[in-house]
Amino acid sequence: MLFQIKSFLQFLWKSKNEHAVHSPFVFHLVTKCFYDKNPKPEYKILKEYRNSLLENKNTIKVTDFGAGSKVFKSNTRQISKIAKTAGINQKRAELLFRITNYFQPESILEIGTSLGLATSALALGNPKAKIITLEGCPETANQCKLQLQKFKINNVNSIITEFGEYLQSQNLISNIFHLIYIDGNHSKKATLNYFDLLLPTVSNETLWIFDDIHWSPEMEAAWEIIKTHPKVTVTIDTFQWGMVFFRKEQPKEHFVIRT
């Protein structure tokens, strides 16, 4: 916790708003997307999706994933409690919606579904996108499927799998993902492993969003390595997220932006 406070203070010190951004690509993203304050009808759907989970007092048996791929315990939890603690908050779900809506990615991968609070934002952001979302806990994934059906969100393919197993077993070279949202297994080793495994799926338009880059010293270390990778050009640190672009026409540049 102390680490995160220190990290946040450093972020505040370094972070800028649109006035300090000279890259037209990033300036446009910040002004037209990050700072777009106009209300959107989809925000209400995202709120209803969340509220329906928060009101759900049923319990499921949750399979927890420990460090790496080791499953270490299974326990009974209330759906409302999982929704309260495990997922993206409303403000960031709205931002994720806007980012998806702004870039209109045709093909999306989410690593870490939980109850689909972020999945719904991705799906509403581009209803024409094909979305694959990965979750290791079968009961959580099933609950998410029911919730997506309830809200008539039909463009999501939910896969129950351990992340590393899925990414290693697929022939990813034949896949292009235009947007990847990585929100599960916040360890340096796993994050860098997913980074390497997913590199063949990158196009010039691809955006990757890593959640919780300042969550721990090892996540910050992973973020530093990602930033310096030769294939990575623009990176944006929003404190909660590390955004990674591979656009060849952009000079390598790092931005720290308040959202």
Q: Strand 241-245 relative to strand 179-182: parallel, antiparallel, unpaired?
A: unpaired
Residue whose tokens read 């270390």:
221
Does 7 sit near ligand SAM (CB under 6 A)? no
Q: Which of 56, 30, 166, 202 is nearest to 115 (CA)?
A: 56
Does 162 sit near ligand SAM (CB under 6 A)? yes
Does 42 sit near ligand SAM (CB under 6 A)? no
Residue 52's identity, in one-letter code, is: S
Figure out which of the listed residues 4, 31, 51, 69 binds ligand SAM, where binding follows CB under 6 A. 69
**Interacting positions 197-226 with ligand SAM (CB under 6 A):** none
Does 100 sit near ligand SAM (CB under 6 A)? no
Distance, CA of 8 to CA of 240 (rounded, Å): 10
Distance, CA of 166 to CA of 160 (rounded, Å): 9
Does 125 sit near ligand SAM (CB under 6 A)? no
Figure out which of the listed residues 183, 195, 233, 238 binds ligand SAM, where binding follows CB under 6 A. 183
Distance, CA of 241 to CA of 228 (rounded, Å): 17
Figure out which of the listed residues 45, 132, 137, 182 binds ligand SAM, where binding follows CB under 6 A. 137
- Rule CB under 6 A: which residues touch ligand SAM? 65, 69, 86-88, 112, 114-115, 117-118, 135-137, 140, 162-163, 183-185
